[in-house]
Structures are given as structure tokens and as C-alpha cells.
Structure 1
Amino acid sequence: MSQQQGPDPHRWLVSYADYMTLLCAFFIMMYALQLIDEEEGAAIRSQIEAVFSNNIPPPQVTPPQLSTPLEEGNGLKPLLADIRQLTQLIEETDDMIVEGERDWISVSLNADVLFGPGETRIRDQALPLMEEIAGHLRSWPYPINVQGHSDDTPARGISNWEISALRAASVVQNLALYGVAPQRMAAMGMSHYHPVDDGDSPEAKSRNRRVVIFMTQGDNETPWSRPN
């Protein structure tokens, strides 16, 4: 007569042995944590807590350190060199005059290159030039002041104040469309009261019709001004 086989009454010993092994490993690990310094122990404990919890802490990201030419002591001279290369895009270099020192840069563009007679919308032929200028300006964190200037010839249906201001605003809008931060820019209309040529010839009037992009090294709290 064969013996009836039932559940092994000693199977619980297998699970018990596994639990005791895990418990032993846990206490050995906790003891090892006491043998290392506090900083390394805190890092290991945080990793263990992440394993046994559903809330995984986000990785610590070190914020990038902003390094600007102002901090390096180079001013705006690297940007000045880049912008001066833009004069190659205009056949008559007198139509684009680039000036600058350590703390400021000005780009004076003949308005006849950017606008048609009496118009305030930038002509399509000048858009590649605006895109090139914006490409150099958008990565620099400095304020930009765009000044519109007219000649002293009375305009029909619009004052010289308005035409100079609208042309400056048009340049600002196009620079913003090509990626320059709009909060860094301001548009100003100067009318015909700041001529670069006091003559009365058509050439003198053409030189006075201009848009000046002026950038100073500073922050956005700095008043819009230009060194003498």
C-alpha cells in the first residue's frame, strides 16, 4: 500500500532562507554606508530611495554659465568685425557705413537701399541684407536702438517725423522676424534734424536719408543714448 504524497511541510524554509539572505545583504549594505563620508553616503541613500519609491528625482542640471564679450573684456569688437563683412553685400560701400568702439556699434544704411521713394515698407531686394544683419545680432544680449532719419524735403501726406519713425519701426519688425529678440529693440524717428551732410545737393540729401542700427554694450535698463 503506497503512502499518499501531500504538500511538503518544509517548503517554507526555502522562502525563509531567501528572506534571511536579503535581510543580511540589507544590513551589510547599511553598515557599509556608515563607513563612507557623509557626502557619498547621501548620494547613495538618495539612489536607494529612488529605487524603492515611484518618485524618481529629476537629474540635477548645472545651469550654463553665460560668457559674453563683456565678461571677457573684448567688448563688441568681434561683432564689429563680423558686421563689417556685410559691406560686401552692397556694391556701393557708402550705402552702408559700419562704425564702432569697445562699447558700441552703429550700422548706417542708406534708406534708398532699403525703401522705395516715400515708402516705409522694406523692399524685397533688401530682405537678404536684413537677414544677414539679424544673423549677427540675434545671439548678442545687448540693447539695439534703430534710428530713422529723413532729408529736409517735405513729404506728401506724411511728415518727416512719421516717415523716419515708420522706417525705423519697419527695420525693427524685420529684425524680429529674423530672430532678434524684440524686447531688446526700440525704434526712434529723428526726422531731418540730425543730418550727416549739410549740403543741398541730391547726393547730400541721399546721405541724410538713412536708418542707423545702434547697439551699446549694457543691459536693457540703460537709457537709449549714443556716446559723443
Structure 2
Amino acid sequence: MSEEKRIVVKRITAGRDGHHGGGWKIAYADFMTAMMAFFLVMWLLSISTDKQREGIAERFRMPLKVALSGGDKASLSSSVIPGGGPDSMKSEGERQVTEEDRQADEEAARLAEVKRQIEELIEKHPVFRQFQSQILIDLTTEGLRLQIVDSEKRPMFELASARLAPYTRAILRALAPALNELPNKITLSGHTDAIVYTNGDRSYGNWELSADRANASRRELVIGGMDEKKVMRVVGLADSMHLDKADPRNPINRRISIILLNRKTQQQIEHENSAEVAFQPGPAVVAAKASTQVLSPASFQPPAPHP
């Protein structure tokens, strides 16, 4: 007789917690944290001054763009808090600064496009192509800078002289029409290497030589068709600013630098040299003028002769 097999089925029934589970603990903890943060904020506000509360309020009114970029104030309010002001979109918002920033960005983009066009011109122009390695172009805080540098085998000027080599004249005259089409004014600066210039005249050195070379370059640009009024400044910097700082005697330190000025730098130069900056004599000058007496011929008595 076969044994009867028993099949035992166990059914596990999930029992209910008498306290309705543990989810309430998380909610209670969040509630207590929020209450503690709320009372902490209320306590900080109660002990802060009116000026501090005003600053906190302005901080919450900061535009999102300024908050993310960490830029300057977005309004013209007198508050020291960045982004201050009731509404940066209204008249007291910093619309002037925003406009200046926009114009600066547009000008930077325009100069970058000019840089690309000049580089393309250098690659295609037969005069520039053979001297491409001696023409450097970059963007600086002052504007777009073009540098024509010396080479050991092909110097721009005659030795120890401000007389330009024929190919240097060709470069500058070919560059003049392109500069004349641009609205930017320019500055020219001459540079020498660290070799001391001596020709027997101690009154003429690298400072005079660099200034004469810059001015000679200006004349060639004008001959090439550039308007003379575009030039704002011609300076000689001698060997004070090396292109190759590791080797002050490197020929590339002998160069002519032409800068197409951006609007900010141009306005700064114009302001520095404007007639509005009038001379104000100091107390010593005023006192000297007050003590000066003009003698008429009648009042002048010559000294008595010695016996």
C-alpha cells in the first residue's frame, strides 16, 4: 500500500504595523528641519540692521544672468550689492553699462573678422606672401595689432638706420589701403633689440632710432594712401618691450607695431590729450607770479661805478 503524500502550502500574510509603518518618521523629520530653518531665518532677521536687510532684499532681486556669471552690478543704484536696484529693466537699471558691453562685444567680433580678412589678404597678396613669416597679427586689449618683425637674413631697415628696406616700403604701402578702409585710428611704435646703438654720438641711441623708424613707417603708410589723420600716436620704445624675452638680442625684437585701436582705447587717448584737461597752477607757481615785478626802463637805476 503506497504512502499518501502530503502537500503543505504555506501562505505568508503580511501583517500590518500597529503604527501604520515608518513613513511618518521621514515626514516628521522634514517638518522639524523646515521649522528649524524657518526660526533660524526669523532670528537672523530680528538681529540684523535695516541696511543689512535691504542688502539681502537686493540680493534676491539680482538678475539670473548676473547671478550665474558673477558679473558687475546690473543697475546704477548706489547700493554696493551686485545686481542692485528695484528693476534692472527700468530707467535706473544699468542700461548704459549693458549697451557698452554689447558694443564692446560687437567691436571685438568685428576686429576678429578684420584679423581674418588681413590674414587672408597676406596669404593671397604677392607682396605679403613672401614676407608672411615676418608679419604677426593678434588681438590685444588695445585693439588689433600688426607687427612687422626683423629677420636675421632680411631686416626691415638698413643697419643702425631709419631708412626702410625696399621690401618694407612695399609691405607698408600695400597695407595702407586696407587700413584706410577701416574706421579705427592707429598708433605706431618702434622697437629695437638689446644691442646698444653707438655711432659716436651719445645723444642718439635706441630711443631715438626706434622713434625715427616708427615715424618713417608712418610716412610710408601715408604715401601708400592712408589718411594721415588716422594716426593718433607715434612712439619709440627702444628695447623696453621685447617680443622674445628669453633672448633680448633676437632679431624679431626689432619691429614696427601697428595697432588698430578699439573704441575704448581711442577714447582714452583722446581724453588724455583733450583741451578739457586744463593746466591748474599750484601754489608755488601762483606765489612766484605774485612776487614777480616788472621794472620799467625809467625805474631801472644802474649801479654806481666804483671809485
- TM-score, normalization by structure 2: 0.45
- State the one-letter code of the partner of 1:78: E
The answer to whether structure 1 residue 84 and structure 2 residue 131 are counterparts is: no
Question: Does structure 2 retain, via aligned residues, the 8 Å contact 1:149–1:209?
Answer: yes
Q: Which residue matches 1:210?
A: 255
Of 117-126 and 129-138, more deviation after overlay is shown by 117-126
Partner Cα separation in structure 1 for residue 119 and residue 252 of structure 2? 19
Question: Does structure 2 retain, via aligned residues, the 8 Å contact 1:75–1:102?
Answer: no
Partner Cα separation in structure 2 for residue 102 and residue 147 of structure 1? 16
What's the secondary structure of 1:222's corresponding residue? Answer: helix
Partner Cα separation in structure 2 for residue 153 and residue 170 of structure 1? 21
The answer to whether structure 1 residue 153 and structure 2 residue 198 are counterparts is: no
Stretches of structure 1 that go unaligned for 5 or more consecutive residues are: 1-69
Following TM superposition, by how much is the alpha carbon of 1:140 offset from its aligned partner in structure 2, in angstroms? 1.3
What's the secondary structure of 2:178's corresponding residue? Answer: helix
Q: Which residue matches 2:226?
A: 180
1:1-228 aligned within 5 A: 73=106, 74-88=109-123, 89-91=128-130, 93-100=132-139, 104-111=143-150, 113-157=155-199, 158-185=204-231, 186-200=233-247, 204-218=249-263, 221-223=267-269
What's the secondary structure of 2:258's corresponding residue? Answer: strand
Question: Does structure 2 retain, via aligned residues, the 8 Å contact 1:76–1:102?
Answer: no
Q: Which residue matches 2:13?
A: none
Residue identity over aligned pairs, in percent, reads 18
CA 1:180–1:92: 2 relative to 1, 3 Å? closer
Partner Cα separation in structure 2 for residue 103 and residue 166 of structure 1? 23
Following TM superposition, by how much is the alpha carbon of 1:207 offset from its aligned partner in structure 2, in angstroms? 1.3
Stretches of structure 2 that go unaligned for 5 or more consecutive residues are: 1-102, 271-307
Question: Does structure 1 retain, via aligned residues, the 8 Å contact 2:142–2:259?
Answer: no
Partner Cα separation in structure 2 for residue 102 and residue 189 of structure 1? 20
What's the secondary structure of 2:226's corresponding residue? Answer: coil
- State the one-letter code of the partner of 1:85: E
Following TM superposition, by how much is the alpha carbon of 1:76 offset from its aligned partner in structure 2, in angstroms? 1.8
Following TM superposition, by how much is the alpha carbon of 1:156 offset from its aligned partner in structure 2, in angstroms? 2.2
CA 1:195–1:182: 2 relative to 1, 3 Å? same
- State the one-letter code of the partner of 1:133: L
Question: Does structure 2 retain, via aligned residues, the 8 Å contact 1:130–1:175?
Answer: yes
Tell me the C-alpha RMSD between the 2 structures.
2.7
CA 1:93–1:139: 2 relative to 1, 3 Å? closer
What's the secondary structure of 2:137's corresponding residue? Answer: strand
Q: Which residue matches 2:291?
A: none
Following TM superposition, by how much is the alpha carbon of 1:162 offset from its aligned partner in structure 2, in angstroms? 0.6
CA 1:115–1:183: 2 relative to 1, 3 Å? same
CA 1:103–1:82: 2 relative to 1, 3 Å? farther
Question: Does structure 2 retain, via aligned residues, the 8 Å contact 1:149–1:211?
Answer: yes
- State the one-letter code of the partner of 2:130: E
Question: Does structure 2 retain, via aligned residues, the 8 Å contact 1:152–1:192?
Answer: yes
CA 1:177–1:222: 2 relative to 1, 3 Å? farther
What's the secondary structure of 1:179's corresponding residue? Answer: coil
Question: Does structure 2 retain, via aligned residues, the 8 Å contact 1:77–1:102?
Answer: no
Partner Cα separation in structure 2 for residue 113 and residue 79 of structure 1? 27
Following TM superposition, by how much is the alpha carbon of 1:134 offset from its aligned partner in structure 2, in angstroms? 0.7
Bigger radius of gyration among the two: 2
- State the one-letter code of the partner of 2:175: I
What's the secondary structure of 2:115's corresponding residue? Answer: helix
The higher relative CO (CA closer than 8 Å, separation ≥ 6) is in 1
Following TM superposition, by how much is the alpha carbon of 1:71 offset from its aligned partner in structure 2, in angstroms? 10
